[in-house]
C-alpha cells in the first residue's frame, strides 16, 4: 500500500532539510519492465500482446498493474482516463508524447487513487495532466504547451517531482486539496503563474521557478511552506500572497523579479476576521547582502461599500474607479541570508 505523502510534508517542516529526489530506473530493452508491481501491459510496440491505444491497455489492466508505453507510435492523440491504481510509464519522456486536441480535458486524467505517471511529454491540451484523486506520483515528465500544465483538484497527498513544466499559461494550479509536495521541478516560461496555490498545506521545495510571465508563486491558501527554491526573473512578483494566512517562506533565493520579490495583499474585512498577515519570512536570499532585516511590503484594501459613497462616485466620475483605499503593512525577514543557497538547477 502506498505510503502517505503527508509524512514527507511534516518531516520537511520539522527539519527544513533537503529532499532527496526519488531515482528513476531507466529501461534498456523493450522486452521487460523492472518496475512492474503486477502484470505489465505494453502499448505501441511491435511484438505480440501490444495495445495500439493507451486507453485500451488501461481498460484491460487491474489495480497494481503497469502499463508501459513505447515511443514507436508516438505521438498518441488520446484523452487517457486512469480509473485504476496502476503505474503508467513512458519509454522516454522526450519521445513518448501524448496530445489531446479538443474539449476541456487532458492527455492524462487521473480519477483513481494511488497512480504513478512517469516519463511522458503531455502537450497541446487544455490541461497537461488533470488529477482528481489521492496518493498519486507525477515524476520525471515534460508538461508543455497547455493552457494549465498541471491541474490538481480535490486530490490530496500528491507528489510532483522532477518534472519540466514550461510554456503553459499557469504551470501548476492547485485547488481544494491539501498535503501535497511539489519538489525538484523546473517550472519556467509559463505565461502567467509558475505555481498557483489556491489551496493550503502544500510544500513547495527545491524547485527552479523562473522566467514566468507573472508571479513565480501566487498563494491564495493557508499553511503552505515555500522552502529552498530558486524564485528568480519572473515578470511580476517572486511570491505574491493574496487573502491567506500562516504561510512560511524559508531559505529561498528570491531576486530579480520585475515588479518586486514579494508582496502581500488582503481585503481589510478579511484581515479583521482572520489576521492574514501572520506569514513567516526567514532566511531568504534577496539578491544582495542585507545588514538589517529585509522589509516585506504589504497592503490592506479597505472597501467602502456604502450606497452613499457609491452613488456619489457614480454621479461625479464617468470612469469606473476602485471604491476603496490601500493601507500599507510591513513584515520583515529578520534573518536574510548573506549569500544565495546552492539549490540544484
What are the DSSP calls for 180-204, one per residue? EEEES-EEE--SS-SEEEESSSEEE
Over residues 146-159, the pLDDT tens digits come to 999 999 998 899 99
Return the bridge partners of 230, or none: 208, 253
The pLDDT confidence band at residue 311, using thresholds 50, 70 and 90, is low
In a domain, 241, yes or no: yes
In a domain, 129, yes or no: no
Over residues 179-223, the pLDDT tens digits come to 999 999 999 999 999 999 998 999 999 999 999 999 999 999 999
- Give the integer Cα–Cα distance in Å for 98 and 13: 36
Asked if 200 contacts 177 with a C-beta cutoff of 8 angstroms, the reply is: no
In a domain, 285, yes or no: yes
* Mean pLDDT calculated for residue range 165-172: 98
Q: Is the pLDDT of residue 341 over 50?
A: yes
- Give the integer Cα–Cα distance in Å for 237 and 229: 14
pLDDT at 271: 53
Q: Residue 270 sits in which domain range?
A: 227-345
The pLDDT confidence band at residue 317, using thresholds 50, 70 and 90, is low
In a domain, 101, yes or no: no
In a domain, 138, yes or no: no
> What order of strands is seen across the sheet that includes strand 137-139?
50-51, 40-43, 66-69, 87-90, 116-118, 137-139, 159-161, 180-183, 202-205, 225-227, 248-250, 280-282
- Give the integer Cα–Cα distance in Å for 157 and 140: 18
The pLDDT confidence band at residue 298, using thresholds 50, 70 and 90, is confident
Total-model pTM: 0.85
Other Cβ atoms closer than 10 A to 29? 7
pLDDT at 22: 34
Nearest to 251 by CA among 157, 343, 137, 322: 343
- Give the integer Cα–Cα distance in Å for 328 and 334: 19
Instruction: Answer with the residue of higher pLDDT: 15 or 324.
Output: 324
Residues in Cβ contact with 205 at an 8 Å cutoff, skipping those fewer than 6 apart: 12, 19, 181, 182, 183, 184, 225, 226, 227, 228, 229
**φ/ψ of residue 27, rounded to 5:** -80, 130
Q: Is the pLDDT of residue 4 over 50?
A: no
Grid coordinates given for 196: 498557483
For all residues of the chain together, what is the average pLDDT? 85
* Mean pLDDT calculated for residue range 36-52: 86
Structural domain count of the chain: 1
pLDDT at 26: 30
- Give the integer Cα–Cα distance in Å for 33 and 28: 9
pLDDT at 205: 98
pLDDT at 305: 54
The pLDDT confidence band at residue 299, using thresholds 50, 70 and 90, is confident
In a domain, 335, yes or no: yes
Return the bridge partners of 190, or none: none
Pairing relationship of beta strands 127-131 and 66-69 according to DSSP bridges = unpaired
In a domain, 93, yes or no: no
* Mean pLDDT calculated for residue range 99-110: 86
In a domain, 324, yes or no: yes
Amino acid at each position: 500500500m502506498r505510503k502517505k505523502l503527508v509524512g514527507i510534508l511534516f518531516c520537511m517542516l520539522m527539519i527544513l532539510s533537503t529532499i532527496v529526489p526519488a531515482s528513476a530506473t531507466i529501461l534498456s530493452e523493450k522486452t521487460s519492465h523492472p518496475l512492474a508491481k503486477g502484470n505489465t501491459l505494453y502499448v505501441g510496440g511491435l511484438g505480440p500482446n501490444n495495445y495500439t491505444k493507451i486507453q485500451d491497455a488501461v481498460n484491460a489492466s487491474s489495480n497494481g498493474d503497469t502499463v508501459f508505453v513505447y515511443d514507436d507510435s508516438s505521438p498518441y492523440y488520446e484523452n487517457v482516463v486512469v480509473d485504476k491504481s496502476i503505474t503508467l510509464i513512458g519509454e522516454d519522456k522526450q519521445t513518448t508524447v501524448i496530445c489531446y486536441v479538443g474539449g476541456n480535458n487532458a492527455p492524462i486524467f487521473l480519477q483513481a487513487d494511488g497512480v504513478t505517471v512517469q516519463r511522458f511529454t503531455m502537450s497541446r491540451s487544455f490541461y497537461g495532466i488533470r488529477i482528481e484523486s489521492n496518493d498519486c506520483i507525477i515524476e520525471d515528465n515534460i508538461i508543455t504547451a497547455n493552457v494549465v500544465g498541471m491541474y490538481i483538484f480535490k486530490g490530496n497527498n500528491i507528489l510532483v517531482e522532477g518534472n519540466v513544466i514550461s510554456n503553459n499559461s499557469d504551470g501548476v494550479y492547485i485547488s481544494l486539496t491539501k498535503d501535497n509536495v511539489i519538489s525538484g521541478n523546473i517550472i519556467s516560461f509559463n505565461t502567467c503563474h509558475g505555481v498557483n496555490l489556491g489551496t493550503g498545506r502544500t510544500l513547495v521545495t527545491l524547485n527552479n521557478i523562473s522566467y514566468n510571465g507573472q508571479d513565480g508563486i501566487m498563494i491564495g491558501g493557508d499553511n503552505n511552506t515555500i522552502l529552498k527554491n530558486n524564485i528568480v526573473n519572473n515578470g511580476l512578483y517572486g511570491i505574491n500572497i493574496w487573502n491567506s494566512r500562516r504561510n512560511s517562506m524559508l531559505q529561498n533565493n528570491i531576486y530579480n523579479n520585475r515588479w518586486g520579490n514579494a508582496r502581500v495583499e488582503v481585503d481589510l474585512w478579511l484581515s479583521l476576521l482572520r489576521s492574514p498577515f501572520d506569514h513567516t519570512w526567514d532566511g531568504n536570499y534577496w539578491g544582495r547582502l542585507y545588514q538589517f532585516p529585509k522589509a516585506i511590503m504589504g497592503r490592506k484594501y479597505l472597501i467602502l461599500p456604502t450606497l452613499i459613497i457609491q452613488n456619489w462616485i457614480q454621479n461625479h466620475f464617468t470612469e469606473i474607479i476602485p471604491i476603496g483605499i490601500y493601507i500599507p503593512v510591513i513584515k520583515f525577514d529578520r534573518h536574510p541570508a548573506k549569500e544565495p543557497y546552492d539549490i540544484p538547477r
